[in-house]
Amino acid sequence: PNVGKSTLINALAGRYIARTGNEPAVTKANQMIDLKNGIVLSDTPGILWPRFENELSGYRLAASGAVKDTAIEYTDVAMFALDYLRSAYEKELTARFKLKETPENAEQLLNTIAAKRGCLRAGGIVDLHKASEIVLHELRAGKIGRISMETPAMIQVESEEIERLKAEAAAAREAAAKEESRGKRHHSE
Q: What is the pLDDT of residues 81-136, one digit of tens each?
A: 999 999 999 999 999 999 999 998 999 999 999 999 999 888 888 899 999 999 99
Say whether both 98 and 124 belong to one domain: yes
In a domain, 50, yes or no: no
For residue 6, give the DSSP letter.
H
Q: How many domains does the structure of the chain reveal?
A: 3
Looking at the fold, whether 121 and 68 belong to one and the same domain comes out as yes
Query: With 0-12 CB in 10 A as exposed, 13-18 as middle and 19+ as buried, what is 79?
Result: buried
Domain of residue 178 covers 151-189
Co-location of 31 and 70 in the same domain = no
- Taking a C-beta distance cutoff of 8 angstroms, is the pair 74, 129 a contact? yes
Share of the chain above pLDDT 70, in %: 85
118 and 72 share one domain:
yes
Does residue 96 lie in a domain region?
yes
pLDDT tens string 149-158 = 998 998 899 9
Same structural domain, 176 and 107: no
pLDDT at 145 over 90: yes
